[in-house]
Amino acid sequence: MSEIYTLLEQRFDGAHAGDLDATVEFNWHNGHALVGIRDGQATFYQDLQQPNAPAPDLIIYFRDEQQTCDIVSGQANPIDAFMQGDFRSNGHIVWVFQTLSAFSKQTELPGISGD
């Protein structure tokens, strides 16, 4: 399992996921990670081409894998990254921050309340 999947698995918190019901693709220049979030549970799809991998409802675009790890781990401020144009999505920004909150098990994300 790649570093990003390990990080996502470690940080997922079903209580913080709330009523989020979506398949989310974390996407960067030369890679991606796909996670389904439903009923407070996460399903990790290692390969977008695997037979049971659903199409993403939300795609969050990052500059690179390091930025993905930094934002998911809470080491980088997602609001600053968004304002600088380093990170964006194909959906509503509120949905993006709800998704990031679902991965805030160990620490609070800057600018986002996990509770």
CA dihedral 61, 31, 38, 7 (to 10 degrees): -100
pLDDT reading at 52 higher than 50: yes
> Pick the residue with more confidence: 70 or 115?
70
Mean pLDDT, the chain, whole residue set:
87
CATH architecture of the domain 3-102 equals 2-Layer Sandwich (3.30)
Lowest mean pLDDT among 8-12, 32-36, 51-55, 76-80: 51-55
Q: What residue ranges do the domains of the chain occupy?
A: 3-102
pLDDT value at residue 66 = 93
3-class DSSP assignment, residue 114: coil
DSSP 63-89: SSHHHHHHHHHTSS-HHHHHHTTSEEE
pLDDT per residue as tens digits for the range 76-112: 999 999 999 889 999 888 899 999 999 988 655 445 4
